[in-house]
Amino acid sequence: MVPQTIAWITARGLFGRRRFLLLIPLPLLVVGLAVLSRAFGVAPENWAQPVLVGLGLAVVLPVIALIVGTGVLGSEIDDGTIVHILTKPLPRWQIVLPKLVVATAVTTVTVSISLYVAGVLAHSVRLGLGLALAGLVGSLAYSALFLALSLVTRRPVLLGLVYVLVWEGLLGNFVSGTRVLSIQQYVLTIADKVAPTGLLQSKVSLPVAIIMSAVFAVGFTLLAIDRLRSFSVAGETS
């Protein structure tokens, strides 16, 4: 069983589950609101921030990454099929990395297309590309985080929602110190620096955004690999 096979099995399993249907409505909502706002002549200054940031980057991106990231491995742990993979003589990184790639790719495609379209409707192709790039970076960082959570706890979705809603959504708006550990702030900064339109308001510097995005992606990937090594054939941590 090579990494490509694991990636194929993961993708097939993801698209075969009902949870995949949950990926469709939110991106369509972003595009739909952007189209309606543009059609009715609403000034971008009045709708870009709530649609692109408040909905797109703050809700759609992390929620879809949560659904996908916790599903690529968490569901196999829950139904016991992880045992089949663990019995193979494979280094654990050859299991984690293909699943991370699939999670990142699915999240990126699902989110970045809608962000690109909304960005073009709001201002320009450059803003659309900036949002799409931000979606790619965010997809990788969020996917690594949520994949690791699926190996650390039996309630990864709950903890993921706490991070997104409480840490990023609530504390991030009132406690400035929390923003340095917020993926949402990283992607917002990246999009804003690529396309400085005034429609987005970043609150962390670009070096912090780039470095911390890499720290999240690499750090939680290594945590997931290390955690998977502690799994017994029974599918539980030792």
pLDDT tens across 23-80, in order? 889 999 999 999 999 999 999 999 999 999 999 999 999 999 999 999 888 666 665 6
Backbone angles phi, psi at 41, to 5 degrees: 70, 25
pLDDT tens across 94-142, in order? 889 999 999 999 999 999 999 999 999 999 999 999 999 999 999 999 9
Which of 209, 168, 181, 164 shows the shortest CA–CA distance to 70? 164
Backbone angles phi, psi at 200, to 5 degrees: -110, 145
Q: What are the domain boundaries of the chain?
A: 2-229
